[in-house]
Amino acid sequence: MSLLDHVDLSLDLGKKSYERQLTDLQFKMLRLQRAVTQIGHRMVLVFEGWDASGKGGVIKRLTEALDPRGFVVHPIAAPTPEERAHNYLWRFWNRLPRDGQIVLFDRSWYGRVLVERVEGFATMREWSQAYGEINDFERILHNDRTSVLKFFLHISSDEQEKRFRERENDPLKTWKLTEEDWRNREKWSEYAIAIDEMLARTSSENAPWQVIAANDKRWARIAILKAVVEMLVADMPFEFDDANTLVLDRSGAYALVDAGKLSAKAVEAVIAEEEKVRKLLKKQRKEN
């Protein structure tokens, strides 16, 4: 049985619950982005999925409350002639995050084992060896203080056709639909086989895949926001207190300093800022 067959595509979320959770999670993302900047952490988010599965909508909700100076979105299309002259991973090395930055890939290096495999742009030898190359690539990122989280947005064939028809009939969305989308749809079963093998062979403890039920767009957006927030909290020495304020876990931070994984100067700067905010809030309470 396919891994995709285990995904419950009936999952959905009501509008009120969605809006409430979206506001809370976007606030947390903004605070966590600040923490990423403060300690020089790096994060890579990979978005793959069927055509019209909602990748762009997820990325929009994930980033719309963030400081634009602290993140970059890379929509990945077919490689340019210059990029084709190099190893297929070359163009992604050039787009990785600097210290204190979050980078989002709207499609990614997984094109090697998906579209390039199915459409014959890569030989069997090339795409077969790519699984190991990709695992090594992501292991290097993890070992270099970079969080890697990968999402595959799964929708049913019927839902995809419905969304294609909606785009076809909406003058503001027709640009999203191409002849290539319809051609790819005819190879649904071939892509499903490639997706299954990709998920099975490239999900690791350091760079896990999360398959997201995306027939309901609201459900998918909240599920992904929650996953990103949880990973950032797990990978950095910060936690949300009872007042929903992000605070530094000082013992955890200094343990990372001792392990050579975090700068003592960065930790001291965070502590100084927290103390400054605490004094300011105390002063405001007295004045009120």
Measured CA to CA, the distance from residue 110 to residue 199 in angstroms comes to: 10
Non-local (6+) Cβ contacts of 152 within 8 A are 48, 49, 195, 199, 209, 210, 211, 212
DSSP H helical ranges for the chain: 15-39, 55-63, 81-84, 90-93, 115-118, 124-143, 157-169, 179-185, 188-202, 217-235, 250-258, 264-287
**Beta partners for residue 151, in sequence order:** 47, 210
For residue 196, give its domain range. Answer: 3-236
In this prediction, residues 66-95 reach a mean pLDDT of 96
Beta strands in 50-134, from DSSP E residues, in sequence order:
71-75, 101-106
Same domain, 101 and 207: yes
Pull the structure tokens for residue 5: 């067959």
- Comparing CA positions, the residue from 273, 253, 276 lying closest to residue 263 is 253
Same domain, 252 and 181: no
Tell me 1's DSSP state. Answer: -
Q: Mean pLDDT over all residues of the chain?
A: 94
Model pLDDT, residue 1:
65
Model pLDDT, residue 57:
97
CATH number where 75 lies = 3.40.50.300
The mean-pLDDT minimum among 26-40, 138-152, 265-279 falls in: 265-279
- Comparing CA positions, the residue from 169, 165, 154, 284 lying closest to residue 223 is 154
In this prediction, residues 192-206 reach a mean pLDDT of 97
Model pLDDT, residue 151:
99
Tell me 151's DSSP state. Answer: E
Same domain, 203 and 259: no
Percent of residues, the chain, with pLDDT higher than 70 = 99
Same domain, 182 and 281: no
Number of separate domains in the chain = 2
Residues 108-136: tens digit of each pLDDT: 999 999 999 999 999 999 999 999 999 99
